[in-house]
Chains A and B, each alone.
Chain A
Amino acid sequence: MTHIGVTVDGTHRHADVEPRLLLVHWLREDLGLVGTPIGCDTSNCGACTVLVDGRSVKSCSVLAVQVDGKEVTTIQGLTVEDGEWHPVQKAFKECHGLQCGYCTPGMVLASVDLLSENPDPTEEEIRQGLEGNLCRCTGYHNIVKAVATAAAEMRGGTS
């Protein structure tokens, strides 16, 4: 067992974990944060995307011991203080950027990461930025629209 201390969605957590424990399994099974789904066994789908120190990572492809001392944000920690949704979450709802919703937590967190780096992305940049996240329902069109809408909202309504 290896001891880790990690801030998860703003709460400091300590645990003794087996080195082979994947971050996504720690989140889901030990911390009960089941908002982060698992969609594949090959690191392709991006459903499990979370932020580590603000950058997107696939939590199925990181060991829990590797985030010792770091800050993890899941979809459940994205809502701002008083429970209000993040602008990206709102835009996914507004623009119908989801159907079954399985890819959505990963899509939203990958989008948050993208917009933190590029607040005014072109359609092409949005598509490139989300290339590690697969959606089997929407055909991506409304997802791209949602990200563009959130970007405009976060820039203060100017486009």
Chain B
Amino acid sequence: MIPSSFDYVKASTVDEAVAALTAAGEDAKVLGGGQSLLPVLRLRLNSPSVLVDVSEVDEMRQVTDEGSALLVGAAVTTYEVMHHDLVTAHVPLLAQTAALVADPAIRHRGTFGGSCTHADPSGDMPTVARVLDAEFVVAGPGGRRTVPAADFFVDFFTTAVGPDEVLVAVRLPKMGGWGSHYEKFHRTAQAWAIVGVAAAVRVEGGTIAEARVALTNMGATPIRAASVEAALTGGPATAEAIAAAAESAADGTSPTSDTHADAEFRRHLARVLTKRAVTKAAGL
């Protein structure tokens, strides 16, 4: 179908984008890569009066080395995330996961920031942001603020980004000394995760010193598997210990039942994929 009419503003700076959103009122939408928004507009599930295109805002197209963290611009494409030297060197989990998002044509246009702001419960990038305790830099009429990942993802398709705000960049800690892995289960013809698990562990002399695990599509937002993290931390980095810890992966989750899988199968997948993701992250 053909989207209903809208005005189009191509922003060249973050300030311009915020000004255009403010001027347009509630009815405006930010356009990133358009790989989620344009399908929505074509199905006429939404009909904004103005689209503010941020895909070529220079500041939002950069990956910056901040010393202990990387600042990844929201308009950096999924494809660029996969291949960027700073990302592959310092946050390999993000590059590995980016390669599992959608398909090549969609990765060429879809953006990291768009994936996070779209906040589809089966999206992969939000889970990586959540497992790494990323910080989201959000700009609005009142200036800029930083939102921790724990507060950024609010509900299904809902984030802390207000209607007159733009996600500018995401700050991710460098992962030197950590092993990591994203394990995803999906149907071949449908890339979206039925369940996904992001794991990062720091192993010291055979012991798991720190562990982080987050789950995709086990609730309305990406969630941390706190009981798995607690069970792993301080324990041996062995297959048995990891398998035992993974048993609690579905505790406290609220997965949906849909045509792809029922809730019980999703809980099963969460346990199995957690075991696999942590095992690979630990280098076993």
Judge if A132 is at the interface, Cβ distance under 8 Å. Answer: yes
Given contacts A129-B104, A132-B104, contact A66 B53 (CB under 8 A): yes
Of residues A60, A66, A114, which shows the largest number of chain B Cβ atoms within 10 Å of its Cβ?
A: A66
Selected contact of A56 from candidates B6, B38, B104, CB within 8 Å: B104
A132 and B43 within 8 A (CB): no
CA A20 to CA B79, docked complex, whole Å? 25
B34 and A20 within 8 A (CB): no
A63 and B105 within 8 A (CB): no
B43 and A46 within 8 A (CB): no
> Who on chain A is nearest to B106 by CB?
A132
Contact with A along B239-274 (1 / 0, CB 8 A): 000000000000000000000000000000000000
* Residue count of chain A within 8 Å CB distance of chain B: 31
CA A2 to CA B8, docked complex, whole Å? 8
> Who on chain B is nearest to A61 by CB?
B38
Of residues B3, B53, B106, which shows the largest number of chain A Cβ atoms within 10 Å of its Cβ?
A: B106
Selected contact of A61 from candidates B1, B5, B10, B35, CB within 8 Å: B35
Given contacts A25-B2, A42-B39, contact A134 B108 (CB under 8 A): no
Contact with B along A68-106 (1 / 0, CB 8 A): 000000000000000000000000000000000000000
Judge if B284 is at the interface, Cβ distance under 8 Å. Answer: no
Residues of B within 8 A of A44 (CB): 189-190
Selected contact of A58 from candidates B3, B106, B191, CB within 8 Å: B106
Residues of A within 8 A of B42 (CB): 22, 41, 60
A110 and B8 within 8 A (CB): no
Q: For the complex formed, measure the closest distance between the CB of B163 and the CB atoms of chain A, giving whole angstroms.
A: 19
Q: List 17 A-B contacts (CB under 8 A).
A: A2-B8, A19-B5, A22-B38, A22-B42, A41-B1, A42-B43, A43-B35, A43-B106, A49-B105, A61-B35, A62-B34, A110-B104, A113-B104, A132-B102, A132-B105, A132-B106, A133-B103
3 closest residue pairs by CB, A with B = A132-B103, A19-B8, A56-B105
